[in-house]
Protein backbone atom coordinates (compact mmCIF):
# COMPACT_ATOMS: atom_id res chain seq x y z
CA UNK A 1 0.00 0.00 0.00
CA UNK A 2 1.27 3.49 -0.86
CA UNK A 3 1.46 6.50 1.37
CA UNK A 4 -1.67 8.15 2.64
CA UNK A 5 -0.75 11.33 0.74
CA UNK A 6 1.75 11.46 -2.11
CA UNK A 7 3.48 14.56 -3.38
CA UNK A 8 2.75 15.20 -7.06
CA UNK A 9 4.88 18.02 -8.47
CA UNK A 10 2.62 18.44 -11.49
CA UNK A 11 -0.44 18.87 -9.32
CA UNK A 12 0.95 20.57 -6.22
CA UNK A 13 4.20 22.20 -7.36
CA UNK A 14 4.14 25.99 -7.11
CA UNK A 15 7.57 26.43 -8.75
CA UNK A 16 8.68 28.27 -5.62
CA UNK A 17 11.28 25.92 -4.14
CA UNK A 18 11.00 26.98 -0.49
CA UNK A 19 7.21 26.62 -0.42
CA UNK A 20 7.27 23.34 -2.38
CA UNK A 21 9.83 21.96 0.08
CA UNK A 22 7.67 22.99 3.03
CA UNK A 23 4.58 21.42 1.45
CA UNK A 24 6.56 18.18 0.97
CA UNK A 25 7.53 18.30 4.66
CA UNK A 26 3.89 18.84 5.67
CA UNK A 27 2.84 15.85 3.57
CA UNK A 28 5.62 13.78 5.16
CA UNK A 29 4.40 14.70 8.66
CA UNK A 30 0.81 13.83 7.67
CA UNK A 31 2.01 10.47 6.34
CA UNK A 32 3.93 9.82 9.57
CA UNK A 33 0.85 10.63 11.67
CA UNK A 34 -1.36 8.46 9.47
CA UNK A 35 1.12 5.56 9.76
CA UNK A 36 1.02 5.87 13.56
CA UNK A 37 -2.77 5.87 13.44
CA UNK A 38 -2.85 2.82 11.14
CA UNK A 39 -0.43 0.98 13.41
CA UNK A 40 -2.82 1.47 16.31
CA UNK A 41 -0.66 3.97 18.15
CA UNK A 42 -2.40 5.86 20.91
CA UNK A 43 -1.58 8.26 23.69
CA UNK A 44 1.87 9.87 23.74
CA UNK A 45 3.09 8.60 20.33
CA UNK A 46 -0.02 9.80 18.52
CA UNK A 47 -0.06 13.08 20.40
CA UNK A 48 3.63 13.68 19.57
CA UNK A 49 2.94 13.09 15.87
CA UNK A 50 0.03 15.53 15.94
CA UNK A 51 2.12 18.09 17.83
CA UNK A 52 4.91 17.79 15.22
CA UNK A 53 2.38 18.39 12.46
CA UNK A 54 0.80 21.35 14.28
CA UNK A 55 4.17 22.97 15.05
CA UNK A 56 5.37 22.62 11.47
CA UNK A 57 2.04 23.90 10.14
CA UNK A 58 2.45 27.06 12.26
CA UNK A 59 6.00 27.52 10.94
CA UNK A 60 4.90 26.96 7.36
CA UNK A 61 2.03 29.43 7.64
CA UNK A 62 4.36 32.07 9.10
CA UNK A 63 6.86 31.46 6.29
CA UNK A 64 4.13 31.60 3.66
CA UNK A 65 2.69 34.82 5.10
CA UNK A 66 6.18 36.40 5.13
CA UNK A 67 6.68 35.33 1.52
CA UNK A 68 3.34 36.82 0.46
CA UNK A 69 4.29 40.11 2.15
CA UNK A 70 7.70 40.05 0.43
CA UNK A 71 6.15 39.67 -3.04
CA UNK A 72 3.36 42.19 -2.33
CA UNK A 73 0.51 39.73 -2.77
CA UNK A 74 -2.81 41.59 -2.39
CA UNK A 75 -4.69 38.50 -1.18
CA UNK A 76 -2.38 37.94 1.80
CA UNK A 77 -4.93 39.12 4.39
CA UNK A 78 -7.63 36.70 3.28
CA UNK A 79 -5.05 33.92 3.00
CA UNK A 80 -3.92 34.58 6.58
CA UNK A 81 -7.53 34.30 7.82
CA UNK A 82 -7.80 30.86 6.21
CA UNK A 83 -4.56 29.88 7.96
CA UNK A 84 -5.97 31.05 11.30
CA UNK A 85 -9.12 28.97 10.81
CA UNK A 86 -7.07 25.87 10.08
CA UNK A 87 -4.89 26.45 13.14
CA UNK A 88 -8.06 26.76 15.23
CA UNK A 89 -9.29 23.44 13.79
CA UNK A 90 -5.93 21.79 14.49
CA UNK A 91 -6.16 23.08 18.06
CA UNK A 92 -9.57 21.44 18.44
CA UNK A 93 -8.25 18.16 17.06
CA UNK A 94 -5.26 18.35 19.37
CA UNK A 95 -7.53 18.84 22.39
CA UNK A 96 -9.68 15.91 21.27
CA UNK A 97 -6.63 13.68 20.86
CA UNK A 98 -5.37 14.66 24.32
CA UNK A 99 -8.76 13.68 25.76
CA UNK A 100 -9.37 10.45 23.80
CA UNK A 101 -5.83 9.38 22.87
CA UNK A 102 -7.18 8.66 19.37
CA UNK A 103 -7.56 10.32 16.00
CA UNK A 104 -10.42 9.69 13.64
CA UNK A 105 -10.18 8.80 9.97
CA UNK A 106 -12.23 11.97 9.44
CA UNK A 107 -9.18 13.98 10.53
CA UNK A 108 -7.08 12.44 7.78
CA UNK A 109 -9.75 13.04 5.14
CA UNK A 110 -9.96 16.65 6.33
CA UNK A 111 -6.18 17.19 6.31
CA UNK A 112 -5.65 15.70 2.86
CA UNK A 113 -8.63 17.50 1.33
CA UNK A 114 -7.66 20.76 2.97
CA UNK A 115 -3.99 20.71 1.96
CA UNK A 116 -4.72 19.58 -1.60
CA UNK A 117 -7.34 22.27 -2.07
CA UNK A 118 -5.29 24.94 -0.34
CA UNK A 119 -2.18 24.36 -2.45
CA UNK A 120 -4.12 24.11 -5.72
CA UNK A 121 -6.38 27.07 -4.87
CA UNK A 122 -5.07 29.77 -2.59
CA UNK A 123 -1.36 28.95 -2.76
CA UNK A 124 -1.43 28.76 -6.56
CA UNK A 125 -2.71 32.36 -6.61
CA UNK A 126 0.19 33.83 -4.63
CA UNK A 127 2.63 31.67 -6.61
CA UNK A 128 1.25 32.99 -9.92
CA UNK A 129 1.56 36.54 -8.57
CA UNK A 130 5.16 35.94 -7.47
CA UNK A 131 6.15 34.25 -10.72
CA UNK A 132 4.59 37.07 -12.78
CA UNK A 133 6.53 39.65 -10.73
CA UNK A 134 9.73 37.65 -11.19
CA UNK A 135 9.17 37.54 -14.96
CA UNK A 136 8.23 41.21 -15.19
For the stretch 6-38, pLDDT in tens is 999 999 999 999 999 999 999 999 999 999 999
* Average pLDDT value over all residues in the chain: 92
Q: How confident is the model at residue 1 (pLDDT cuts 50, 70, 90)?
A: very low
pLDDT in tens, 65-112: 999 999 999 999 999 999 999 999 888 888 888 888 888 888 898 899
Return the SS3 of 8: coil
In-domain check, residue 89 = yes
Determine, yes or no, domain membership for 118. Answer: yes
Q: Is 59 helix (H, G, I), strand (E, B) or coil?
A: helix
Q: Does this model's pTM top 0.85?
A: yes
For the chain, the domain total comes to 1
In a domain, 42, yes or no: yes
Confidence check: pLDDT of 63 > 80: yes
Cα–Cα distances in angstroms (integers) from residue 113 to residues 4, 27, 90, 116, in the given order = 12, 12, 14, 5
Residue 56 counted as domain residue = yes
Domain containing residue 33: 17-135
In a domain, 11, yes or no: no
Identify whether 9 is part of a domain.
no
CATH assignment of the domain containing 41: 1.20.120.50
Between 82 and 135, the more confident residue is: 82
Amino acid sequence: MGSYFEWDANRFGLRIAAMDDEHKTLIGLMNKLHALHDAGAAGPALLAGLEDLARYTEKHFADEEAYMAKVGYAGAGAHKLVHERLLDRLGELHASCRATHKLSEELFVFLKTWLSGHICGMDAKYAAHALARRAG
